[in-house]
Structure 1
Amino acid sequence: MKQLIKGFPTDFLWGGAIAANQCEGAWDEDGKGFCISDLHLYDPNRDISVPYESDLTLADVKKAMEDHDGYYPKRHGIDFYHTYKEDLKLLKELGLKSFRFSINWSRIFPNGDDATPNEAGLQFYDDLLDELHRLEMEPIVTMLHYETPVHLTLKYKGWVNRQTVDFFVHYAETIMKRYKDKVKYWIVINQMNLIHFESFNSLAFCVDQVDNIEQAKYQAIHHQFIATALVKQKAKTINPHFEIGMMVADCTASPETCDPDDVVFALQRNRHQYFFTDVSFRGAYPSYMLRYFEEQGIRIEMEDSDTAILSENTMDFLAISYYYSTTVSYEKNTMSPTSVTKNPKIKANPWGWGIDPKGFYYALSQYYDRYQKPLLIAENGFGMYDTLEDGKVHDDYRIDYLRAHLVQLKEMMKDGVEVIAYCAWAPIDIVSCSSQEMAKRYGFIYVDIDNLGNGSKKRYKKDSFKWYQEVIATNGTTL
């Protein structure tokens, strides 16, 4: 009989996660090219309660590339490109056993379609990986985290163009061969399902480059499915011990009421999220999505070999980011995942993200039951305005959030859900993905930089630092 798990395994990978575009800076150093995140201007007048819209036009892109007056926080990050040794030393003190980060595609291939890679970019990640191994932290590498080279947008319309698949696979093969003895866990593309939240960030095409935006989004996603499968195919020839995963952001919705219409509507909404994982783990397009495409007049262009590519190269593990839960109503909402109803049973942070640890348990259990594949918690964290006083940050709210979610993680693992790692987002403060703010902080380490890049850049340990340090040291028994 299978033995029940009582707690976290002894080899559990307690970790943290960041993204190159939000932390590295050095946006124009050592041969790096423009990536799409370098185009994000900070707007101090933006209403943070309104969902972020990432769609851009060609004029928006060109204006940002030529703008020398506005502040673009992701071009500067927290200067991790130059401070990574000091920052990793702090994270080692924190006790991290794993560290998830992304490789910036535009640092390796500045234009995306270059014939040969940029050696300076490759060497930077060699050095970073060597430092991680010296500090005994398991690297978890994301190949693409909103860092598609802008040249691919301007010349090829990003992921709408099938050629981008070839460029990406060439890039992926390059880094897998270069780091074949340094990296075991690879996440191919960050949060593939956020095509309605982070459209330009995810798919790298401008709205005025296509005639039908919805058609273009799903065509681009098809190309990402193919690229991911081809990466898996090549990975096993480079190092058979590689573990290749795909990643989604949880958008599981609960029905607002027990009205059958709400229940069925929530099911249909959730299927549109499972679509991404169904293709990646079952190796084929599900019938419910083919029906949706037919009803919406969406036609996906496929090559003859695509069916076999998808079916023969399914993923090894599922990486998930979880921050909040959503509720939907048949009468109030649409099929768009951005259309949700406020849940009166839970509290939210200033950005409207509902705090729901039980939703964490529910969503991840559903994914594991559906695929029976190992899960990797790629992101989970609490963004909040922190106050630095006398070198200290008292962030009990972050401790409360993380503790409650880790308790639920422990419960699902007792149920038999296999979890490889828990990567808190982000262990050190970095620029916010959606709002471009430094003030929306997640870290156990405070970085003294404000929304306009001002500050001493000094690092300070928050109260949550000591708390997470103890959680790791006791392997979660102190929860």
Structure 2
Amino acid sequence: MVQNIPKDFILGAASSAWQTEGWVGKKETQDSFLDSWFKNESFVWHEGRGPDVATNFYEKYPEDIAHMKEIGLTHYRTSINWSRFFIDYEKGIVDEEYADHIDRVIDELFNAGIEPMLCLEHYEVPTYLMDKYGGWASKKVVELFVDYAQIAFDRYGDRVKQWFTFNEPIVIQTRVYLDAIRWPHEQNTKKWMQWNHHKVLATAKVVQVFHEGGYEGRIGVVLNPEVTYPRSSSPADKKAAEIYDLFFNRVYLDPLVKGSYPSELVQLLEHHQIMFDHTEEELEIIRQNPVDFLGINLYFPKRLKAPRYEWNKDTPFHPEMYYENFELPGRRMNKSRGWEIYPELMFDMAMRIKDEYHNIPWLITENGMGIEGEERFQDDNGQVQDDYRIDFIRMHLNQLLKAVEAGSSCEGYMLWAFTDCVSPMNAFKNRYGLVRIELDDERTRSLKKSGEWYKQIIQERILK
């Protein structure tokens, strides 16, 4: 089947500051949460690799952007590293050396004909704010984030027209305070919800600043909703999927698009005594300031069934009290990640946004296939023959283009990631890029077969 790709449909790629930059030029006082985690638990990161070197994008960005130009990317999404942007977080004193680096990256992208899309936080909450205020548990951090956003808009808004507040705002606190599987391993379900609320509030306040400031462009947020599927049509399985959806998807989608939290979620939070602290003024700010557009990160479906066992009353409350994961027999798998491959989730998410969220403008800001041991697939010239990645992208783009034909407001597709990059704990174990990164001192780059294929579909605007 041949599909035409609309002329203005974004075909880009994404990454983040902390996963690529490395620590060249970073001051000891500028650690992010990720930096501190790596320093404290480097042994849990695959082969001890982490954000310290990453891909050394800080120095190698001209080479990477040259590859972007060669492939023909229309857009590139990355982040400003909040922890490196300031010398003094509370007084808002900018680190001019790092800020100039962001200037150079933006200019280099424009010179290559690529539009930058910038995220204000991609897990890069400063350690200083974690230590002093407990991170996003504090309303003070909300205030400091809003101040940071305005400084960034003033500095880069003459060129950058597409902004995101957060990337996957639910992730850090879920791993730390809900599941307690990442440093510093504090299980505190109410704090988990407080972080969620404060990130919703911070986004609404930044949207307000952006609009009242008259900045050109638009402001949104990148979410990672998990498309939920009940095991069966039974009421019990459907309820399990609905409650998972409330806690992990609608907790952000509803307030940021519709302006209020779902009443069903609020009832559950109050019942389990984990309702976040808030004021009516905060809820009004959220009501009045929905985002302009959404970035959506999709990788795999979430299949759920009713729980088989009664919850242990001595175990801290976790939403999984209401559900169990379900593994579909015969499912197609990316065995490197342990993730199901189900391209139809693209169409299903698109139709949900169309039907339930006002068909708000949105795009896929991450989707990709991480494979372990890609060196196995290098040909005699050293090029990775990643046909599996080409097939993965093709299948997901196919579903996305079908959704556009069905009336979805989806504006494009951005692959995760442009180059191989560091991921939390997995480091370089699973490779995602169109461009391979060798783990030598030079972090040598080379284009994979998928890079050449992506270039072709961008040029031809046809998916075969």
TM-score by length of 1: 0.86
One-letter amino acid of the structure 1 residue matched with residue 35 of structure 2 = D
Q: Which of the numbers 170, 194, 198 marks the counterpart of 1:193?
A: 170
Task: Kindly report which structure 2 residues correspond to 1:258-273, keeping only aligned pairs within 5 A, or say none.
Answer: 258-272=233-247, 273=249
- 1:221 is displaced (CA, Å) by 1.5
Q: C-alpha separation between the residues in 2 aligned to 1:32 and 1:237?
A: 33
Matches within 5 A, 1:49-198: 63=40, 71-110=48-87, 112-194=89-171, 197-198=174-175
Contact 2:306/2:323 (8 A) holds in 1: no
Q: Which digits, 9 at most, give the CA deviation of each residue in 1:169-220, with x for residues without a partner?
A: 1111110110111111111011123356444799999555xxx711111112
1:396-475 correspondence runs (5 A): 396-432=387-423, 434-449=424-439, 454=440, 456-475=442-461
Distance, in Å, in 1 between the alignment partners of 2:86 and 2:392 is 39
Cα distance between partner residues in 2 of 1:247 and 1:370 = 18
Q: Are the aligned partners of 1:197 and 1:338 in contact in 2 as well (CA < 8 Å)?
A: no
Q: Residues 135 and 408 (structure 1 numbering): CA distance in 2 closer, same or farther, change over 3 Å?
A: same
> Could you tell me whether the CA contact under 8 Å between 1:17 and 1:379 is conserved in 2?
yes
For 2:413 and 2:298, the matched residues in 1 are separated by 11
Q: Secondary structure at the match of 1:20?
A: coil
CA distance, structure 1, for counterparts of residue 140 and residue 99 of structure 2? 23
In the alignment, the residues of structure 1 paired with residue 237 and residue 212 of structure 2 have an alpha-carbon distance, to the nearest angstrom, of: 47
Deviation at 1:308, TM superposition (A): 1.8
Do the aligned residues in 1 keep the contact of 2:350 with 2:410 (CA within 8 Å)?
A: no
Stretch of structure 1 that moved more, 400-409 or 252-261: 252-261
Residues 193/332 of structure 1: CA separation in 2 closer, same or farther (3 Å cut): farther
Cα distance, 1:111 vs. partner? 5.4
CA contact (8 A) 2:14 2:78 kept: yes
Alpha-carbon deviation of 1:367? 2.4
Query: Which residue identity is paired with 2:345?
Result: G
Residue 335 of structure 1 is aligned with which of 294, 315, 319? 319
Assess if the C-alpha contact under 8 Å between 2:304 and 2:323 holds in 1.
no
Looking at structure 2, the residues matched to 391 and 25 of structure 1 have their Cα atoms a distance apart, in angstroms, of 25
> Which SS does the other structure have where 1:285 is aligned?
coil
Q: Where does residue 270 of structure 2 map in the other structure? A: 294
Residue 233 in 1 paired to residue 224 in 2?
A: no
SS in structure 1 of the partner of residue 13 of structure 2: strand
Task: Identify the structure with the greater strand proportion.
Answer: 2
* 345 and 366 in structure 1: CA distance in 2 versus 1, 3 angstrom threshold: farther
- Inter-partner Cα distance in structure 2 for 1:330 and 1:264: 7
**Offset, 1:439:** 2.7
Deviation at 1:416, TM superposition (A): 0.8
CA drift of 1:9 comes to 2.6
Closer, same or farther: CA 32–185 of 1 in aligned 2, 3 Å: farther
2:229 to 236, 242, 254: 254
Unpaired segments ≥5 residues, structure 2: 310-317
Structure-2 residue corresponding to 1:311? 287
Mapping of residues 5-16 of structure 1, within 5 Å: 7-16=4-13
Question: Secondary structure, in 3 states, of the residue corresponding to 2:364?
Answer: strand
Aligned identity (percent) is 29
Look up the SS of the partner of 1:402 in the other structure.
helix
Contact 1:348 1:355 in 2 (8 A): yes
User: Where does the alignment leave 5 or more consecutive residues of structure 1 unmatched?
Assistant: 1-5, 42-60
Q: 1:83 to 1:30 in 2, by over 3 A?
A: farther
TM-score normalised over the length of structure 2:
0.89
The aligned amino acid for 2:405 is K
Distance 1:331 1:341 in 2: 10
Deviation at 1:28, TM superposition (A): 4.8
Q: Tell whether the 8 Å contact from 1:374 to 1:419 is kept in structure 2 after alignment.
A: yes
More displaced stretch, 192-201 vs 12-21: 192-201
1:347 aligns with 2:332: yes
- For the residue of structure 2 that corresponds to 1:74, the secondary structure is coil
For the aligned residue pairs, the C-alpha RMSD in angstroms reads 2.5
Q: Deviations over 1:112-152 (max 9, x none)?
A: 33431111111111111011111111111111001011011
Amino acid at match of 2:137: V
Give the CA deviation at 1:430. Answer: 0.7
> Residue 93 of structure 2 aligns to a residue in which SS?
coil
Displacement of 1:436 in angstroms is: 3.3
Equivalent pairs counted in the alignment come to 441
